[in-house]
Amino acid sequence: MSETCVLVLDAEPLPRLDRLAGRARVVHADEHTLAGQLPGADVLLVWDFLSDAVREAWPGEGPRPRWVHTPSAGVDRLLPALADSDETVITNARGVFDRPIAEYVLGLVLAMAKDFRGTWELQRQRRWRHRETFRVGGTRATVVGSGPIGREIGRTLLALGVTVDLVGRTARETDAEFGRVHATGELPSLVGQADWVVCVAPLTSESAGMFDAGMFARMKPEAHFVNVGRGQHVVEDDLVDALLEHRIKGAALDVFAEEPLPADSRLWDVPGLLISPHMSGDTAGWRDDLCEQFLDNFDRWEKGEPLLNVVDKKLGYVPTATPGPTP
């Protein structure tokens, strides 16, 4: 049996793949050379997971890697291009981002309830202006996305005394932690009761554009919207209008239709809109964690064991029933 070839679509910094020494041949590609190198690769590690290069090189000529791993939770940059390649298994970074993103979202919720940005802006102006803020306990949140990250966000909000309505692609009548899981079809009625609407859904053709003028119109004027899913979930112009017309009170976006967000985007200075550069899950050591997760799965690959975190290419995410890693 010939040596396994692991092709890495590079990004800075490079992954630490010392554990593969003597076990696989590691070959590096960039966006320009990727297409030509794919036929010789058994495994593709999409280290530059924000790149569209894999989708653009697919299906292409010649054999394809049998395993493609993306060190991200979302697989929307691989699908639907790879959906029909029945020989190729896609795995993702399920689990790594759960706690960091849950903390980030809770931080945003508290920051908005306590108006930290307003306070720090007053600090910049050396102005002492006492205001009343809001309690988070006793409020209600709709969390859209019932995968591990959405569940962890929900769990974290529950711990603060928030009532959580969890929304998934399909309803589940009973859920040990959340009572039940609501179907996406219930979203329009749920958001009308929510103080916090959090989007952490996988991006699919069904979820794209789900937060549009109609959805924002159903929210309460006191509601805040948080997106840590994908920029394409939101019709950005509609969100801007909703904020400018005070149809909702505030929003925080960590993801955008175009990333990096261009310097001339109108989003940067919309009142009530908090912008962060797609970093909600990226806590110190995250790249090491992502490497370890890939390498652990490589151990399974080498032994012929079933891979963990296999994406259902029709659904666009790892179904909950699939065994996932225990953090």
Catalytic residue positions? 230, 259, 278
For residue 132 the two structure tokens come to 């009343």
14 interacts with its own copies by CB under 8 A: no
290 interacts with its own copies by CB under 8 A: no
CA angle 296, 309, 319 (to 5 degrees): 165
221 interacts with its own copies by CB under 8 A: no
CB of 110 to its own copies, least distance (A): 3
Q: Of 186, 283, 307, 325, which one interacts with its own copies (CB under 8 A)?
A: 283
271 interacts with its own copies by CB under 8 A: no
Nearest CA among 129, 72, 4 for reference residue 311: 72
Q: At what angle do helices 98-113 and 148-159 cross, to 10 degrees?
A: 40
The position carrying tokens 């908090």 is 274
Q: Of 278, 312, 322, 324, which one interacts with its own copies (CB under 8 A)?
A: 278
60 interacts with its own copies by CB under 8 A: no
Q: Of 134, 315, 322, 324, which one interacts with its own copies (CB under 8 A)?
A: 134
Q: What is the DSSP letter of 305?
A: P
Convert residues 168-207 into a mask of x (bound to its own copies by CB under 8 A) and - (unbound).
----------------------------------------
CB of 271 to its own copies, least distance (A): 12
CB nearer to its own copies: give 81 or 275. 275
Q: Of 24, 75, 90, 113, which one interacts with its own copies (CB under 8 A)?
A: 113
Nearest CA among 62, 64, 63 for reference residue 54: 64
Q: Of 1, 21, 176, 284, which one interacts with its own copies (CB under 8 A)?
A: 284
Residues 6+ apart with CB under 8 A from 321: none
CA–CA distances in Å: residue 136 to residues 110, 111, 160, 305: 7, 10, 7, 45
Q: How far is CA 161 from the centre of its chain?
A: 25
CB of 127 to its own copies, least distance (A): 8
CB nearer to its own copies: give 121 or 206. 121
- Cα–Cα distance measured from residue 315 to residue 43, given in angstroms and rounded to the nearest whole number: 22
Which 3 state secondary structure label does DSSP give 41? coil
- In this structure, the number of other CB atoms found within 10 A of the CB of residue 147 comes to 20
Q: What is the DSSP letter of 203?
A: P
Q: Of 103, 186, 241, 312, which one interacts with its own copies (CB under 8 A)?
A: 103
Pairing of strands 163-168, 43-45: unpaired
Q: Which stretch binds its own copies (CB under 8 A): 63-71, 86-94, 120-128, 213-221?
A: 120-128
CB neighbour class for 265 (10 Å; exposed up to 12, middle 13-18, buried from 19): middle
CB of 177 to its own copies, least distance (A): 14
104 interacts with its own copies by CB under 8 A: yes
CA atoms within 13 A on the CB side of 269: 2
Q: Which stretch binds its own copies (CB under 8 A): 60-68, 114-122, 163-171, 188-196?
A: 114-122
- Given a contact cutoff of 8 angstroms between Cβ atoms, the answer to whether 83 and 60 are in contact is no
Applying CB under 8 A, the residues found at the interface with its own copies are 99-100, 103-104, 106-108, 110-111, 113-114, 116-117, 119-120, 122-124, 126-137, 156, 159-161, 259-261, 263-265, 268-269, 274-279, 282-284, 286
